[in-house]
Amino acid sequence: MGLNTVLTLRPLGDFLRFDGRLLISGLLVAYLTSYLYAALTAPLPLEWWLDNIVVLAFWLGAWWYRDRVFISVVSMIAILAFLFIHLVGAYYVYENVPAGEWFKQWFGWQRNHFDRLAHFAFGLCFIMPLAECLKSGRKRLPDWIVRSFPVSLIVALSAVYEILEAIVAELVRPEVGAAFLGAQGDIWDAQADMLAALLGSVAGLLLFSVLTRIAANRK
């Protein structure tokens, strides 16, 4: 499968209806199976559902706009990669993810940084799909908007998510709210998470620019 092929924009519905590429179909089946397993076996069910409200909203939106949003195979893989990372984090309530605990012990860190990885992955994995959505719109937008607006949107979404986390921490049972917030004693947790998303989006934007330039040179 050539680079131009995987960067070709196609309706999101092609992937959601399982009539897209075989790889995407397999990843979707693997994700949905893992999601159902995690939902049924999560050690802390309430925290699980609190962490997955946004994911459910994403899938509902994806289904609603399935024939109006155009993205590439690479973007769909990136989205699923982030969703898998979030799936693991939500299952272990982020601060208890085993991989994060291993790195915490190896490097002598004071906290489990898996949540930072998830926020970085959010920026890295969603920058290209957002840029492609703008690029495939009816109105042709300047290139600088296609590349810069997704970065601003990712930072804004990260800020909204941090606000929602704080609200949940106040409204839900204190012990559940604290676990959902996942600050682990870091008073700058929200700002650090937003910074991670920003850095991820910048890295993703650079990767997107390189891939599109290589694809253009191969035409």
In a domain, 202, yes or no: yes
Mean pLDDT over residues 127-136, rounded?
A: 88
How confident is the model at residue 183, as a pLDDT?
A: 57
Q: In whole angstroms, what separates CA 93 from the centre of its chain?
A: 16
Mean pLDDT over residues 107-123, rounded?
A: 88
How confident is the model at residue 118, as a pLDDT?
A: 94
Domain count, the chain: 1
Q: Please give the model's pTM, rounded to 2 decimal places.
A: 0.88
206-215 pLDDT, tens digit per residue, is: 988 888 888 7
| Of 19 and 191, the one with more pLDDT | 191
In a domain, 1, yes or no: no
In a domain, 186, yes or no: yes
In a domain, 150, yes or no: yes
How confident is the model at residue 146, as a pLDDT?
A: 84
In a domain, 2, yes or no: no
In a domain, 148, yes or no: yes
Mean pLDDT over residues 5-23, rounded?
A: 76
Mean pLDDT over residues 150-174, rounded?
A: 83
How confident is the model at residue 89, as a pLDDT?
A: 92
Percentage, residues of the chain above pLDDT 70: 88
Domain that holds residue 177: 7-218
In a domain, 111, yes or no: yes
pLDDT at 157 exceeding the cut of 90 = yes
